[in-house]
Chain A
Amino acid sequence: MLAVAVVILGFILFAVLYIIWGLRRVIGFIQSRIGPNRVGPQGIFQTIADALKLLQKEDVIPEGADRWLFTIAPVIVFVPAYLVYVVIPFGDGLIAKDLNIGIVYISAITSITIIGIIVAGWASNNKWSLLGAFRAAAQLVAYEVPMVLALCVPVVFAGSLSMQGIVQAQSGYTWGFIPHWFIFSGWGIPALALLIYLGAGLAEINQTPFDIMEAESELVAGFNVEYSGMKFALFFLAEFAASFTLCAVGATLFFGGWQPPLPFLGGQLHGFAFQIVSLFWFLAKCVVGVLVLMWIRATWPRVRVDQLMDFGWKVMIPAGLTVLLAAGVVVIAWH
């Protein structure tokens, strides 16, 4: 079990390093720049160099800070982001633990992050970080609800809370080439759920349209203003690990997880070979998702605080409830 934990940790570190590099390159390209391209071929070692620099930096603890809480907050933020990977189905049989309540586990574990953020904002003894933490708490609580409602839609269609069970429910092809992924089925209800999931997910990982908790122009950097060195790196790591998680869960619930998109692209294989192919398809779907997130990040402007709360409570939650109701109706009428 320890080996699995180490592999997952290594995967998170690797993925985050290259998500950050890719983010800087993609946003650079969108802004007609080149982005980091000096360290290694095409700059692929840039983030490693940055991480080494962060490791060497002085670990500053502000004078008025609550030392104990200040130190433990990055850990509280990072550990949930790490624990979620226990139930991510990387491939056929490639899952650390196929819990029969996988979805519930994910939404429960990711909520713990809020506690770490509030602790960090409070312990820093800085008004900007405290304001950032308040905003984060309000935002994450508001968007947790539509997120869970959107997650429920594939569960209703699959009839299972386990991640592998949901992937299995999406196997098979209509007329031999349209995969039975939820995004293509159920009269478009799961597609609507995906939109809600994406919107709420962007708020959950504090991404651009909803990144008011670290709005640079208003709050300097939000709850992590006072953090430096390795503690800051842990926050950074957790944030990007969460953005990969968002894509991984989205791919699992709506895009058939590790199911190949066409039957001849690996569907005929068995055993170990199929495991490799399924891992490839899962990661490919995640990479596409991460690229879409970067695309959104480089395009859309930030919303105002009141607009964010308005949108969360008055639009997202009613829409989530409606979609969930529609999903139930479709499932009862159809199956």
Chain B
Amino acid sequence: MKPQRLSKEVIYTAVSLVKGLMVTFVNFWRKKVTLLYPEKRWELPENYRGMPVMPVDRKTGKDKCIACGACVRICPEQIITMEHEVGEDKKRKLKAFKIDMSRCMFCGLCTEVCPAAGLVPSKIYELSSTSREQMVFDLDELHELGGFHPDKPEEEAEEKQDAQSEI
């Protein structure tokens, strides 16, 4: 190596070592990204897609499921089981509904496919339990976890329809 190039290289090396030290020095004082999880929690976004639940309507006290069975058919893991009966007004009614959350992969297809906004994603993500049986959620539990239906999806859908018709 020519002496001129060598000296350039030496200077470059020395400068870059000091530069590296400055980078880590600045990083030392930066805000830490670690979240102390059990004590502090994430602020979940509004459109967070957690466990699917069945909220009940505030007025009637019933869920909005029409027992079409779309969620049962689309579930890739086939963890949703549903039983229905045909009522006197010849409408299908939900008799039993179960989700085995131990095998759920949170793809959200069941909530996307639901035509009646009966099954909606919640913000629930901590689902550990001590037995497999506890991981199977039935209709009552899904109602309880779901709380009251915010009724927003329908309004939004109507608004969308209006907007489309205007166009």
Answer whether residue A100 sits at the interface, using C-beta atoms and an 8 A cutoff: no
User: CB-CB < 8 A to B32: which residues of A?
Assistant: 29, 32-34
User: Which one, A32, A296, A300, contacts B33 given CB within 8 A?
Assistant: A32
Interface band, chain A: 10 to 19
Docked-complex contact B28 and A296, CB < 8 angstroms? no
Assembly CA distance A3 to B34 (angstroms): 45
Is the pair B33, A33 in contact by a Cβ cutoff of 8 Å?
yes
Chain A residues with CB under 8 Å of B36's CB are 34
Q: Is the CB of A299 within 8 A of B33?
A: no
Q: What separation, in Å, do the CA atoms of A31 and B31 have in the docked complex?
A: 10
Taking a contact as CB atoms under 8 Å apart, the answer to whether B21 and A34 are in contact is no
| Contact yes or no, A299 B30, CB < 8 A | no
B2-47 interface (Cβ within 8 A of A): 17, 20-21, 23-25, 27-28, 30-34, 36
Docked-complex contact B21 and A299, CB < 8 angstroms? yes
> A9-37: contact bitstring with B at CB < 8 Å (1 yes, 0 no)?
00000000000000000100111111000
What residue of chain B has the Cβ atom nearest to residue A301's Cβ? B20
Interface residues on B, range: 10 to 19
B24 lies within 8 A of A299 (CB)? yes
Residues of B within 8 A of A34 (CB): 32, 34, 36
Bound Cα distance from A300 to B27, whole angstroms:
14
A30 near B28 with CB under 8 A, answer yes
Q: Cβ of A295: which chain B residues have Cβ within 8 Å of it?
A: 21, 24-25
Chain B residue contacts of A32, Cβ below 8 A:
27, 30-34
Q: Which of chain B's residues have a CB closer than 8 A to the CB of A300?
A: 17, 20
Report the bound CA distance from A31 to B28 in whole Å. 7
Judge whether B33 and A298 touch: CB under 8 Å.
Answer: no
From A26, A33, A296, give the contact of B21 (CB < 8 A).
A296
B residues engaging A (CB < 8 A)? 17, 20-21, 23-25, 27-28, 30-34, 36
Can you list 24 A-B contacts with CB-CB less than 8 angstroms, sorted by A residue number? A29-B27, A29-B32, A30-B27, A31-B27, A32-B27, A32-B30, A32-B31, A32-B32, A32-B33, A32-B34, A33-B32, A33-B34, A34-B32, A34-B34, A34-B36, A295-B24, A295-B25, A296-B21, A298-B24, A299-B20, A299-B23, A299-B24, A300-B17, A300-B20
- Which 7 pairs of residues, A with B, have the shortest CB-CB distance? A299-B24, A34-B34, A30-B24, A299-B20, A32-B33, A29-B28, A30-B28
